Amino acid sequence: MAKQRFLKRFSVFDLVVIAMMASLGIAIKPVVVPLAHIITGPLYIPGGVIAGGFYMLWIVLGVGLVGKRGTATLIALVQAIMVISIGVFGTHGILSLITYLLPGIAVDMALLLTRHRGCCIGCCFLAGIAANMSGTFLVNVVFFQLPLIPLILSLSSAALSGGLGGLIAYSIIKQFRNLHIINHGT
């Protein structure tokens, strides 16, 4: 019953945007991660730390386009289901449900705490940081178990990359607003 009420807040257009953002986030991963490995490999930092900012930006972009609470979590849930069901690049098996879902929850929590909806440069920057740092931290705890110094370096890199991804997402959201395709959060 509560699930139905939650989903009724989203229009069909919103759900299409959510599905598209989830798909784009998954589709870009196999392209971006190998490129990031060129930079991160010699530093013994997992490639997803840097690449994450660029595939987490789709979560932030989705929140900014839809403008409703819970959007990031839905995007992340769709991504987790896609990864588990079709076994795409970077799958962590059933743990993908947790490793993909946490960044969406982190974005929704960060935006809830700041009372924003992907509406400004600051909240998009913060949402990108929250998404990438939470994903980096959880994947490290579950899989890599890096020592403290590499973990700090990884989390710092994740914050930078996530913040940059959030800034890119904001610039796209701003273009949609300028074209009057979306009008909430102004």
Q: How many domains does the chain have?
A: 1
User: Highest-confidence range of 4-8, 85-89, 173-177, by mean pLDDT?
Assistant: 173-177
Confirm whether 109 is domain-assigned.
yes
CB atoms within 10 A of CB 28: 15
Q: CA 136, CA 121: separation in Å to the nearest integer? A: 22
Report yes or no on 183 lying in a domain: no
Q: Is position 72 within any domain?
A: yes
Give the range of the structural domain holding residue 41, as residue numbers without chain letter.
11-178
Q: Is 4 inside any structural domain?
A: no
> Which tens digit of pLDDT belongs to each residue from 34-45?
888 888 777 777
More confident call, 120 vs 141: 120
pLDDT digits (tens, 9 = 90+) for 58-79: 999 999 999 999 999 999 999 9
Number of neighbours of residue 146 by Cβ within 10 angstroms: 18
For residue 94, being part of any structural domain is answered with yes
**What is the structure's pLDDT at 33?**
82
Q: Which residue has the higher pLDDT, 86 or 160?
A: 160
